[in-house]
Amino acid sequence: MKRGDEAAGREEYFESTDLSANMEDYMETIALLASRNRVVRVKDIAKTLKITMPSVTAALGKLREKGLIYYEKYGFIELTDSGRRVADLVSRKHSFLKRFFREVLRMEPNSADEEACRIEHHLSPEACRRLYRLVEFHDTEHGSEREWTGQLQDVMEEGPLSELREGQSAAIVKVLGDSPLRKRLIDMGFRRGEKITVIKYAPLRDPIELSIKDYRLSLRVEEARDIVVRPLERGRHRRRHGKE
């Protein structure tokens, strides 16, 4: 959702809106509805944000006081010029943050969106600027197929062995910790790059049966947490939360 027609300097310009997280959400929603429908009504806002109409009305009153919207009781809502600027700022923040989670951190689209919603109101203009530059830099480098972006991609896919699904294979990245268990695992062939496959989970979901080199081994889930792996089929990482 990169808006290429806008000047880069403006893209990169972030300022504080002096609004609470809630209010920013209202502004974002109003802008969104305005671009989608001809008119914006209280009912639509309440539906989108899943809150009651009276609370929307109360919030709109506050926004009007700040001179961000035109709003008369039972009428339509419109953004003022400064209101449009604020809404634009908020949605730019959201969209680049979403790109950050999606493209740099390699998260699923849905969760990238959720995460963006979660942090967009809490970042300072300075942090936004720097993060924005990182996203842009990654974008251009990724486009020109630099090695590091590929590496970063791989690193982002890494996770504990305990989160693989049955039948999934992965390459070992490292064994964490400094326990006798780690030494034993290294002795048993758990080395970087070695392929490991989750054969199955025990009937009570713990321990795990694994296949490595030419043998089968079982490990408890809590022990498998200390083994960092990179799944060999991408994007099929078992996710702890979120919908699949």
Q: Which residues of the chain form contacts with other proteins (CB under 8 A)?
A: 174, 179-189, 191-192, 199-200, 202-207, 209, 213-220, 223
Say how far apart CA 173 and CA 85 lie, in whole Å.
Answer: 47
Nearer to other proteins among residue 205 and residue 241 (C-beta) = 205
Q: Which of 174, 176, 213, 173 is nearest to 196 (CA)?
A: 213
Minimum Å gap between C-beta 233 and other proteins is 20
Q: How far apart are CA 51 and CA 66, in angstroms?
A: 22
| Minimal distance, residue 199 CB to other proteins, in Å | 8
Residue 160 or 189: the one with the smaller Cβ distance to other proteins is: 189
Nearer to other proteins, 85 or 230 (CB): 230
Identify whether the C-beta of residue 81 lies closer than 8 Å to the C-beta of residue 88: no
* Distance in Å, CB of 236 to other proteins, minimum: 21
Spell out the alpha helix ranges (H) of the chain.
8-11, 21-36, 42-49, 53-65, 81-99, 109-119, 125-143, 147-157, 180-187, 221-224
Rounded distance, CA 65 to CA 130, Å?
A: 32
For residue 170, the minimal CB distance to other proteins (Å) is: 18
Q: How far is the CB of 35 from other proteins (least distance, A)?
A: 50
The type of residue at 226 is D
- Please say which residue, 135 or 208, places its beta carbon nearer to other proteins: 208
Q: What's the token pair of residue 86?
A: 């604020």
The residue (of 3 and 192) whose beta carbon lies closer to other proteins is 192
Please check whether residue 227 is in contact with residue 190, taking contact to mean a CB–CB distance below 8 angstroms. yes
